[in-house]
Chain A
Amino acid sequence: MTAYRLGQGGRIDRSRTLGFTFDGTALSGHPGDTLASALLANNRLLVGRSFKYHRPRGVVAAGAAEPNALVTVGSAGRREPNSRATMVELHDGLRAESQNRWPSLNWDVGALNGFLSPFLSAGFYYKTFMWPASFWEKLYEPFIRRAAGLGRASYHADPDRYEKVWAHCDLLVVGAGPTGLAAALTAGRAGAEVILADEASEPGGSLLFDSASVDGQPAGQFATQILAELATLPNVRLMTRTTVFGWFDDMVFGAAERVSRHVSQPLPGQPQERLWRIVAKRAILATGAEQRPLVFPGNDRPGVMLADAAVSYARRFGVGVGRKVAVFANSDAGARTAASLQAAGINVVALVDARVGHPAAVTVPRIFSGGVVSGTSGSRALGAITVRHAGGEDRFEADALAMAGGYSPRIHLACHRGGKPRWSDAHQAFLAPEGLAGLTLAGSAAGARTLGECLSQGAAEAAAVVADLGHTGTAAQFGAVDGDVPEGSVRALWHVPGGKAFVDFQNDVTVKDLGLAVREGFSDVELAKRYTTTGMATDQGKLSNVNAIGILAEARGVSPAEVGTTTFRPFYTPVSFGALTGSSTGHHFQPVRRSPLHGWAEKHNAVFVETGLWVRSSWFPRQGETHWRQSVDREVKTVREAAGLCDVSTLGKIEIFGADAAEFLNRVYCNAFAKLPVGKARYGLMLREDGMIYDDGTTSRLDENHFFMTTTTALAAGVMNHLEFCAQTLWPDLDVRMASSTDQWAQMAIAGPLSRAILQVIVDEDLSDENVPFLAAKTVSLFGGQLEGRLYRISFSGELAYELGVPAGFGEAVADALMEAGEPHGICAYGAEALGVLRIEKGHVTHAEINGTVTAEDLGFGRMVSQKKVDFIGKHMLEREGLVDAERPRLVGVKPLNPEQSFRTGAHILAKGAEATLENDQGYVTSSAFSPHVGSTIGLALVTRGPDRHGEEVVIWNALAGETVPGVLCDPNFVDPSNEKLHA
């Protein structure tokens, strides 16, 4: 084969030259070229090696279906493996490399696999690499992966930006070939909002190489004229380089736009790719039809390609695919191809028509009626072909072979929502399922066979859609089509017997493999696919599937209708992870929630920790502190001895209004709330319907019909959803309304024996114990009436403590003022770590204990659960046997016998002297910390009959960490068990 640039013709810009490299060799092409056309123009025929046998392979197609010409484009973070050379637009400086070869494309060691091919048949992997099992992971799989891999991914970070966009339209037209253009024009003129999407860089589809003319204009010029009119319609949006890859539920289509892949790097501000989610009222698939290869011995030799691809290279790209081109067809497409190539000045040496009695209307030196190509030869490219016919066999020189095996409508999208394709004997192809709501097909995608049919169908379908949507318009009319050559009758020719004939080029599946699958019982199409791997490569069998079905049908002696197809699923062609991820990467992976006291914490040198989406201050190192424990111990001691200020703004906060708000709370909490007095806060426990604890927090009654609830940080959103569920679906008759106010309030805990004195500096009201007793909740005036806040006398640390809420924007100023007021008293900022130590020292639980498996009784809250209330969430499951079992693990404190020893959360509790077995497991440590107050590690644990065993010696066992620590069970309230400090 000798491919070459034609002296004239094509839609390339011959006035400009672009330089590019292939495997390091400098080559050139023109704007308008794809990498494939430019390689052909440079007579680069060998572009890749096949997956399994490493056979030399050349370009087969001119579009998205290309199975062979997979190359790696770009370098470093922009390295894109498995790019189809037929879809890569040539640009200056493009660097492309071949794949799956070593040491070089021309001399590839893996090609030795070809000699082993008798052993590499269907099911080879299943049969060969089964035993011993341990060999699979260490030996077989790595070897197979290295030998049979495609391109390699880059280890560099992708430097480019990707984005996701939503779009809405009345009509989505997929494909801007003749059918799509006619449809878009019709709908656009009628005033409908139209999106016309096409995967190619230049819209026009087959018009860009069709030799027919419309109304006396060459096809290409006709396309230009329609595009010019579409450009004047503001309601029509043309999206090129955009592959509509999937049809999803509710008329949402996914599309990938390759915004910048045609240049070496994105223009400033432009993303590399854009993922579209298009919501369309209606859609027309004008996706055309895929020409099928013919399956004959030696059909994978570089130089053998699809007939339409050969014509496209000639007429669109100005490339002759050979000096001596032969054509092999099973329909009139053969004569049409020969004529088109000749018209472009290409030497056609033979026309092989598999049918008998269809005289060709072209003049070609050799015409074989009723002949088939039975063999090819040539070292790394085609040199000669053998034709078998009624009179025997002829062998002659040919350096390119254009094959036309019939057309398969591109119906993929129409099948993405579960519809099954229908076989049509008349078309010798599968057509789209019928009765697709909202989506219709037109043109060759619907089985049309001529340009004239495509134009009229596209216009007619669009006219019907716009009328249905309430627009007025008529189908666009076009002049007469001249030079339209219908395919005529198609002879079913699924394969030509003889040597190695490839069905799936990319996965090296031959006719023989399919035959073996049938003989071995894998004749069902889904089984045959997996057994032989046909259709499982990156091209998803666009060229191979229908041929494989035809061959299976023949082998089974049934119609292709009975074999059926495998399942069509998105994506139509591969979509990059970048596009699917959009802008949610790195720093923007997920939103970050910042507390209104973030700036205050920064000023105090906070170390931050991510908890869910929140960034919380964890501890506040001071000068000289080199270990977090030094800071945390200091903060804990300061709170116990003086005072501390902690940011608790991340707790969930919910305003609850309504005449029935008290009744509502009474039903969602297991303890009583109906009679909570105005101005009081109460600790509340929410259960799930299965009786386990869901969440806890305090709720304050600010007014008769106004409550303020706090939730844990972790379940803030969940509790809000839960309350809304209860209010809206369970008890819609109650007058209760909820507003989240988590973000409205900067909330700070001021804790410690000196907290009252410090707070009194900024609060105008008297804070004496009489006026603001334990569990008081009230609105207070601050700074001489400059500001209002909400003050709650509640404590998580067990110390005299308050929580003060102020409008978020003022949070930092108020915290600053409190730190200033507290300085003489030795106040410190304390973070989430110290808060954790303080609460463990007091035996207060968090979600470390409320882990979905505990009841109120388990945590010592048994007496809180109302016995009087008729109903509350979780009441009705509480009496179950397992929930009242005396042996249940329950909350208890634990500490080491030797204060020098420590243990960790997760360690298990064993009875003293018991063997470490599952049967002897008595529970586990749920929280642990070093307690400066106790002087050792302490823990909270859920231990069987825990509260009855205070003082009992146990073993704290942690096999993962290799720690076995003698310990003792104790009261979980390690500090001030009589709560005198709390009530001070």
Chain B
Amino acid sequence: MPEFALVSRPALPHSPVGDASRVRIEALPEGHVLHVLAAGGRDITPEQLASLGDGTAHAVRRYAPGQWFVVGNEALGSKEYREKAARLGADAAVSDQSHGRVRVAVSGSGARSLLAKGCAVDFSPSVFAVGATAATLYNHIGIHVTRTAEDGFELLVLRSFAQSLWEDLSVNHGEH
């Protein structure tokens, strides 16, 4: 069936909401999300992890003890994924979650207060600095949040929940 066109249907086919000077909610490109799981007792160095990333800041995000997400804007083909997965050898398994998790950016001076309407995490910069990450809830939806800038956050959410998260954020965006 050579005439087949490989079209990906985005989980969040929405234009950004809001204005960057206050709060902006934006669906990020569905590039790649690699879930790295270290073998028991193996230390994975930051360099090893960084070697899986695309070189941008905050590509590697701590998730849990021995687990990280490595994210980026470019979609990976099967070969590229397999090549990356092989880099850590037996030290870690790499599960491709590029379609399983979707990224949403929340930015602007009101980003923190928008997040506070669903998250119990203290996002004050002294506690949650740029680069900090947390797996937590936004209302009833599990998210993985990373501070990418003073006023910028990225939320990683399971694809099936993405639309509901988008709606929750948009509703709470109201007054901003």
CB within 8 Å of B: which A606-664 residues:
614, 655, 657-659
Cα A743 to Cα B38 in complex, Å, equals 22
What string of 1s and 0s marks CB contacts (under 8 Å) between B144-167 and chain A? 000000000000001111011101
CB contact list, A731-746 vs B, under 8 A = 732-745
The DSSP consensus for interface residues of chain A is mixed
B70 at the interface (CB under 8 A from A): no
Residues A744 and B100 in contact in the complex (CB < 8 Å), given A591-B141, A593-B160, A739-B95? yes
Q: Which residues of A contact B37 (CB under 8 A)?
A: 657, 737-739
Give residues of chain A (148-187) contacting chain B, Cβ–Cβ below 8 Å.
161, 163-168
Q: Is B24 an interface residue (CB 8 A)?
A: no
A705: B residues at CB distance < 8 A: 93
In-complex Cβ contact of A809 among B9, B139, B163 (8 A): B9
A655 to B, closest residue via Cβ:
B95
Q: Of the candidates B4, B93, B117, B140, which one forms a contact with A163 in the assembled complex, judged by CB atoms under 8 Å apart?
A: B117
Q: Is the CB of A658 within 8 A of B40?
A: yes
Please indicate the chain B residues that have their CB under 8 angstroms from the CB of A817 in the complex. Answer: 1, 4
Least CB distance, B10 to chain A, in whole angstroms: 7
Given known pairs A743-B158, A744-B99, A813-B5, the reply for A590 and B120 (CB within 8 Å) is no
B119 touches A166 (CB 8 A): yes
Interface size on B, residues (CB 8 A): 54
Tell me the nearest residue of chain A to B78, going by C-beta: A788
A592 in contact with B163 (CB, 8 Å): yes
User: Which of A167, A583, A737 counts the most chain B CB atoms within 10 A?
Assistant: A737
- 22 residue pairs from A and B, CB less than 8 Å apart: A161-B171, A168-B122, A168-B124, A268-B175, A269-B176, A271-B174, A277-B120, A583-B171, A593-B161, A596-B159, A737-B40, A741-B97, A743-B97, A744-B95, A744-B159, A783-B1, A784-B1, A787-B6, A807-B98, A809-B9, A809-B10, A813-B8
CB of B26 within 8 A of chain A?
no
Closest to B174 in A: A269
Q: Mark A702-714, 1 if CB is under 8 A from B, else 0.
A: 0001100000000
Known contacts A706-B93, A812-B7; 9 additional CB pairs below 8 A are A166-B120, A168-B124, A658-B39, A658-B93, A659-B90, A738-B37, A808-B99, A810-B6, A810-B7
**A744-B116 contact, Cβ under 8 Å, with A583-B139, A737-B39, A813-B8:** no
Question: 8 Å CB contacts to B: which residues of A804-856?
Answer: 807-813, 817, 821
- Please measure, in the bound complex, the distance between the C-alpha atom of A594 and the C-alpha atom of B30, giving whole angstroms: 17
CA distance A587 to B164 in the complex (A): 10
Whether B168 lies near A588 (C-beta < 8 A) is: yes
B101 at the interface (CB under 8 A from A): yes
Q: Looking across the interface, which residue of chain A has its beta carbon closest to that of B165? A: A591
Residue of B nearest to A781 (CB): B78
**Nearest 7 pairs between A and B by C-beta?**
A744-B100, A809-B8, A657-B93, A269-B175, A591-B164, A808-B99, A593-B160
Q: How far is the CB of A192 from chain B (nearest CB, A)?
A: 12
Q: How large is the interface on A (under 10, 10 to 19, 20 to 34, 35 or more residues)?
A: 35 or more
Return the chain B residue nearest A786 by Cβ.
B6
- Of the listed residues B9, B122, B127, the one surrounded by the most CB atoms of chain A closer than 10 A to its CB is B9
B109 within 8 A of A: no
Of the residues A166, A591, A808, contact of B161 by C-beta under 8 Å: A591
Task: Known A166-B120, A590-B140, A817-B4; judge A812-B167 contact (CB<8 A).
Answer: no
A193 close to B (CB within 8 Å): yes
Residue of A nearest to B33 (CB): A744
A737–B93 touching, CB < 8 Å? yes
Nearest chain A residue, comparing its CB with the CB of B2: A784
- Residues 99-125 of B contacting A (Cβ, < 8 Å): 99-101, 113, 116-117, 119-122, 124
Assembled-state Cα–Cα distance A279/B5 (Å): 52
Contact with B along A694-721 (1 / 0, CB 8 A): 0000000000011000000000000000
| Contacts known (A743-B101, A783-B1); A167 close to B174, Cβ less than 8 A | no
From 569 to 608 in chain A, residues with beta carbon under 8 angstroms from any chain B beta carbon are 582-584, 587-588, 590-596, 599
Contact B97 A810 (CB under 8 A): no
Report the Cα distance A587→B120, complex, angstroms: 23
Q: Which of B59-87 contact A (CB under 8 A)?
A: 66-67, 78
- Min Cβ gap B3→A in Å is 9
- Smallest CB separation, B168 vs chain A (Å): 7
Residues of the A chain whose Cβ atoms lie less than 8 Å from the Cβ of B113: 165
**A761 vs B4: C-alpha distance in the bound complex, in angstroms?**
11
CB of B116 within 8 A of CB of A167, answer: yes
Q: What per-residue 1/0 map shows which CB atoms of B8-46 lie under 8 Å from chain A?
A: 111100000000000000000010000101111000000
A937–B6 Cα gap in the complex (Å)?
Answer: 43
What residues of chain B lie closer than 8 Å to A809, measured between beta carbons?
8-11, 30, 99
Q: Which residues of B contact A164 (CB under 8 A)?
A: 117
* B7 cross-chain contacts in A, Cβ below 8 A: 810, 812-813
Residues of A within 8 Å of B100, CB to CB, are 740-745, 808
For the complex formed, measure the closest distance between the CB of B83 and the CB atoms of chain A, giving whole angstroms: 14
**Which residues of A are in contact with B by a Cβ distance under 8 Å?**
161, 163-168, 193, 268-271, 277, 279, 582-584, 587-588, 590-596, 599, 614, 655, 657-659, 705-706, 732-745, 761-762, 783-784, 786-788, 807-813, 817, 821
Most buried by A among B35, B121, B175: B175
Contacting pair B160 A743 (CB below 8 A): yes
Residues of chain B lying within 8 A (CB to CB) of residue A734: 40
How many Å lie between the Cα of A762 and that of B121 in the bound state?
Answer: 47
In angstroms, Cα B91 to Cα A659, docked, is 11
Q: How far is the CA of A610 from the CA of B146 in the complex (A)?
A: 32
B172 touches A594 (CB 8 A): no
Contacts of A657 in B (CB 8 A): 37, 93, 95
A743 touches B159 (CB 8 A): yes
- Given A591-B164, A813-B7, check contact A808 B174 (CB 8 Å): no
Most A Cβ at <10 Å: residue of B38, B127, B160:
B160
Contacts of B122 in A (CB 8 A): 168, 279
Q: Is the CB of B116 within 8 A of A166?
A: yes
Name B39's closest neighbour in chain A (CB-CB): A735
* Residue in B closest to A806 when the chains form the complex, CB atoms: B99
In the bound complex, what is the Cα–Cα distance between A933 and B170 (angstroms)? 49
Asked, given contacts A161-B171, A269-B174, A584-B139, whether A761 binds B1 with beta carbons under 8 Å apart, the answer is: yes
Given known pairs A659-B39, A735-B40, the reply for A786 and B4 (CB within 8 Å) is yes
Q: Establish whether residues A165 and B140, one from each chain, have CB atoms under 8 Å apart when the complex forms.
A: no
- The closest CB in chain A to the CB of B121 belongs to A166
- Chain B residues near A741 (CB-CB < 8 A): 95, 97, 100
- The minimal Cβ–Cβ distance linking B109 to chain A, given in whole angstroms, is 13
Taking CB atoms, residues of chain A closer than 8 Å to B30 are 809
- Let me know if A813 and B9 touch, CB within 8 A: yes
Q: Which residues of B contact A163 (CB under 8 A)?
A: 117, 172
Report B-chain residues with C-beta under 8 Å of the C-beta of A739. 35, 37, 93, 95, 97
In the complex, chain B residues whose CB is within 8 Å of the CB of A271: 174-175
- Nearest A residue (CB) for B138: A591
Is the Cβ of B159 less than 8 Å from the Cβ of A808? yes
Q: Max chain B CB contacts within 10 Å: which of A161, A270, A591?
A: A591
Q: Give Cα A737 to B159, complex, Å.
A: 22
A161 vs B172: C-alpha distance when bound (angstroms)? 9
- Complex CA gap A743/B161 in Å reads 9
A364-B118 Cα distance, complex, nearest whole Å: 59
Q: Which residues of A contact B78 (CB under 8 A)?
A: 788
Q: Across the interface, name the chain B residue whose C-beta is closest to A788.
A: B78
Point out which of A657, A658, A739, A786 has the most chain B C-beta atoms below 10 A from its C-beta: A739
Q: In the complex the two chains form, is A813's CB within 8 Å of B95's CB? A: no
Listed residue (A163, A744, A810) with the most chain B CB atoms within 10 angstroms of its CB = A744
When distances are taken between beta carbons in the complex, the residues of chain B under 8 Å from A807 are 8, 96, 98-99
A786 to chain B: which residues have CB within 8 Å?
4, 6
Bound Cα distance A591, B174 (Å) = 19
Closest to A259 in B: B175
Q: How far is the CB of B15 from chain A (nearest CB, A)?
A: 18
Determine the residue in chain A with the shortest Cβ distance to B176: A269
In the assembled complex, the Cα of A193 lies from the Cα of B126 at a distance in Å of: 11
| Complex Cα spacing A599 to B10, Å | 11
CB pair B6 A783 closer than 8 Å: yes
